[in-house]
Structure 1
C-alpha cells in the first residue's frame, strides 16, 4: 500500500524542485567547446544547452555562486512582493503576458511561502487549539456527584490493592478508578496543576481535555466504518501526535489547493473568451501566496501585542476582499462592477474550496 504522507511529500518536493529557477551566475570567457554537450561556443553561454562556457572548480567560487543565487532571488523578491501586496492585478497580468524575468515565479513563490508559513505558525503556537468545554449548572452538579463517588471508589480500590500486594486484578482496578477520577477532574477544571496523570498529559491542558473527551465518549467519531472510527479515536487519544500529523499532511498536500481552486475561478469567466486555465492558475497561485504571507505575519505578530492581533483580524476580514478585488480588476481588465460581483462570488468559493481542503487534510492526517 502506498504511504499517503510519503506520496504527498514526494509530490511537494518534485513540484518545488521544478518551480525554483536555477541561479544564473556569471560566465567567464569562452573556452571553445561546451563542457556539457560538446558543441562549439563563441560567447559566454552555450547556444545549444545554455550552460556557461567558463566552468569554475574552486571552493571560493562555490560560495560566490551560492551568494549570487540568494541575492539574485532576493532582487526578484523585492520586485515581486510590493506588487503582490499593492498591485496584484498588474503582477498577475505581466506574468501571464510573458514579462517574467524580473519576478519570482508564482509556483515557487507559493511553495516557499507555504513552507515558511507552517514554520512560523508551528513555532508561534498557532496550531494548538484552545479547547473550552461549557456546561450547564445541572451538568456540573451531576459531574461533581460522579467525581465524589469516583474518589470514594478509588480510595476503596487503593485500600484493597494495598491489602493484597501483587494482585494484578486489583492493580488494574485501581488504575481504572484513577483514570476515571482524572477524567472527571479535568472536565470540571479542578485538577491539581502539580499532579501527574497516568497518561503523562498535563492536567487541565487542551491535550488532556481532548483525551478525556474521547475516552469518556463525549467526543464521538462516526465515519461509517468501525475500523476507521477506532483508528481516528486512537490518534485523538494522543492529541499532540494528531495535530502533528494534520500539520504535516497540510504542508505536504498544500499544492492540492491549486487544482481545487482553479475550477472555481474558471466558473467566473465561462462566457468570456481569451482566458485560459493557465491564466487562472497564475491568479490562484499569487492569491494563495498573498494569503499565506498575511497568515504568517498575523501568527508572528499577534502573540506579541494585542494591538497587532486586532490589526491582523481587521486585515484578514477586510484585506482579503480588497486584495481579491484589486487582483481580479487588474489581472482580467474588469470594470468596477464586474470585479465587485466576481469578488463576492469568489469569497464564497474560497470558503467552499478551503472547507473541502480542510476536510481532506484532517481525514488524511487522522487516518494515515
Structure 2
C-alpha cells in the first residue's frame, strides 16, 4: 500500500511540476481550419473547444522560442506571487479565491515547487559538516573521547568476530570508520558536523543491549535493522516526506474547518488555498533556516524570529486578509492555528518515521 501511494505521489508531483511553467502563447501565425487536437472548427488563433493553439511550431528555432517564452512567463508570475506571499499573504489568498488568478502562480504548482526547493536544499545541508573551529583544549578533549569510543568499538568488534556475527561485524565496522573520519577532522581543529546524530545512534545501539518490542516480531526486526542503520532510514524518511508532502494539506483542513464551521460563506476550497499558500511560505522559512544552519548562524534572536515570530505574524496577516476578519477573530484563530500546526507536523512526522522504518 505504501509503495502504491508513493507511486501515485510521484506521478502527481511530476505532472504538477510540469504545469508550473504555463503553455506558451501563440503568435504570428494564421490559424488552421480545424483544431489538430479535437477537430473542432477554429475561429481564431485558439480552439474554442479545448484551448489548443491553432498554429503548432515544429522547427528547432520554435522550440527555443517556446522554452524562453515559458520561462519568462513563469518568472513574470513569480515576481508577482512571491512578494505577495511574503508581505501580503492574506490579499494573495483572497484574490486567488475570488478569481484573480491569471497574474499569480497557482497554489498547487507553487506548493510543489517550494517543497522541491526545500528538500533539495535540505539534502545538501544534511550532509554538510559545519566548519566550526575548535580551540586546542576542545580538540584534545574530543580526541580523547573519540579514542575511548574507538577502543570500545574495537572490543565489541573483537567479540562479534569471535561469535561470527556477520551483521554485527558489518555494522560495527561502518561505525568505526565514521568515528575515525570524525577523529581525523577533529585533529585538524574542525568540529564534527551538526548532523552526525545517525552515526551516534548507530554507535550507541551497537554498544548497548537495547531491546525493541513493538508487539510484532516482523516490525521488531525492521525496527532493530533501522536502528543499526539510521542513515538509510533517514534517507528513506526524507524521500517519503517529499513524495507525501501533499498530506500536510488534508491534515491541516480539519483545523481550519473547525475555526470557521459556523461561517456559511467560507468553503473547504478556501481552506485548501489558504493551507497551500501558508505551507509554501513556511517551507521557504525552512529553506532559510537550513541555509543559516549550514552557515553556522547561532544567535538566539535570529532563530526566535525565524521559528516563532515570523510564522505567527504571517498566520495572523494571512487569516485576517484571506477571511476578512477583525483583529480579535484573526488573533484567537492565529493562536489556535499555531497549536494546530505543531500537532499536524507531529502527526506528519510520525507517519513519515513509521513508513521509513517499516518499509
Q: TM-score when scaled to structure 1? A: 0.78
- In terms of mean alpha carbon deviation, does 284-293 or 222-231 score higher? 222-231
**In the aligned structure 2, how far is the partner of 1:182 from the partner of 1:298?**
31
**In the aligned structure 2, how far is the partner of 1:57 from the partner of 1:240?**
48
Equivalent residue for 1:139?
Answer: none
C-alpha contact (below 8 Å) 1:41/1:53 kept by paired residues = yes
In angstroms, what is the RMSD of aligned CA positions? Answer: 3.7
**In the aligned structure 2, how far is the partner of 1:153 from the partner of 1:9?**
40
Q: How does 1:201-350 map to 2 (within 5 A)?
A: 206-217=197-208, 220-306=211-297, 311-350=302-341
Cα 1:152–1:279 shift into 2, 3 Å: closer
Equivalent residue for 2:138?
Answer: none
Equivalent residue for 2:12?
Answer: 14
Larger Rg: 1
- In terms of mean alpha carbon deviation, does 168-177 or 32-41 score higher? 168-177
1:6-48 deviation line (CA, Å, top 9, x unaligned): 5324224325514725423224221222222222212111112
C-alpha contact (below 8 Å) 2:161/2:169 kept by paired residues = no
- In terms of mean alpha carbon deviation, does 214-223 or 73-82 score higher? 214-223
Equivalent residue for 1:72?
Answer: 73
Q: How many residues align?
A: 327
**In the aligned structure 1, how far is the partner of 2:68 from the partner of 2:346?**
41
Q: Report the secondary structure of 1:233's partner residue.
A: helix
Q: Please tell me whether residue 103 in structure 1 is matched to residue 108 in structure 2.
A: no
Q: Report the secondary structure of 1:193's partner residue.
A: helix
Q: Report the secondary structure of 1:38's partner residue.
A: coil
Cα 1:179–1:50 shift into 2, 3 Å: closer
**Stretches of 4+ aligned residues off by more than 6 angstroms:** 173-183, 189-192
C-alpha contact (below 8 Å) 2:46/2:52 kept by paired residues = yes
**In the aligned structure 2, how far is the partner of 1:116 from the partner of 1:181?**
35
Equivalent residue for 2:132?
Answer: none
Q: Please tell me whether residue 37 in structure 1 is matched to residue 38 in structure 2.
A: yes
Q: TM-score when scaled to structure 2? A: 0.80
**In the aligned structure 2, how far is the partner of 1:116 from the partner of 1:361?**
19
Cα 1:175–1:335 shift into 2, 3 Å: closer
Q: CA deviation at 1:58?
A: 0.5
**In the aligned structure 2, how far is the partner of 1:51 from the partner of 1:177?**
62
C-alpha contact (below 8 Å) 2:199/2:231 kept by paired residues = no
- Where does the alignment leave 5 or more consecutive residues of structure 1 unmatched? 129-143, 158-167, 195-201
Q: CA deviation at 1:289?
A: 0.2
1:205-241 deviation line (CA, Å, top 9, x unaligned): 5443211322344655443222202101102211211
